[in-house]
Structure 1
Amino acid sequence: MAAFVLNGTRFIYDENKKNITFEVTNNAGQMYGGQVWVDNTSEGNGIYMVPQPPFFKVGAKQKQIIRIMKTDSSLPTDRESLFWLNVQEVPPKPDVKESHGSVLA
């Protein structure tokens, strides 16, 4: 079961705004790390938006606010552009006794 839950499935970035925000909630009973990035789906693989913070830790049953900021104003204004928002959870390192072998991180 996933630890992270987002407060939406689609986010619309109005060209007049400086940024948009969304929440990542950790529903797990322990701290998790997270990574966020934005993928461009068009032919030109330019970087038009960046998340802040791109890496974070969020405690058990806590929330993290992520801000998406536009970095390039050369997006077309006569049509919509589609980007993929990626949120990856990084679970804590498992507790392993020395007699059970090694752990890959």
Structure 2
Amino acid sequence: MRPPTFLYEVMNEVVEIGRARGVNLPYGFADDRLEFCDSLPYDMRASMAHDLANGNRLEVAWLSGAVATYGRELGIATPCNRAVSDILALYEDGERHTR
């Protein structure tokens, strides 16, 4: 088992919601997926990161937003996915992030 990190907690919340909704995910699924992430090229970026950088609409409502909504409906805490959803909701309509 890995030490808790934000990404690990996000993934564990997804696994918990998936199981609660009937998806048969094996024990250690989040660990396995993080191992996969560790094997990806260092400079690889998620598609939503590309969308954010290019000012495109984000699919956050269907990803972390859905996990947070299911968590609320099922009475399962999803603080990490809620944080991702709340933060990225500011850009979900495709507004370009400026610094």
- TM-score tier after normalising by the smaller chain length: under 0.3
Larger helix percent: 2
- Which structure shows the bigger proportion of residues in strand conformation? 1
Bigger radius of gyration: 1
- TM-score for the superposition, normalised by structure 2: 0.22
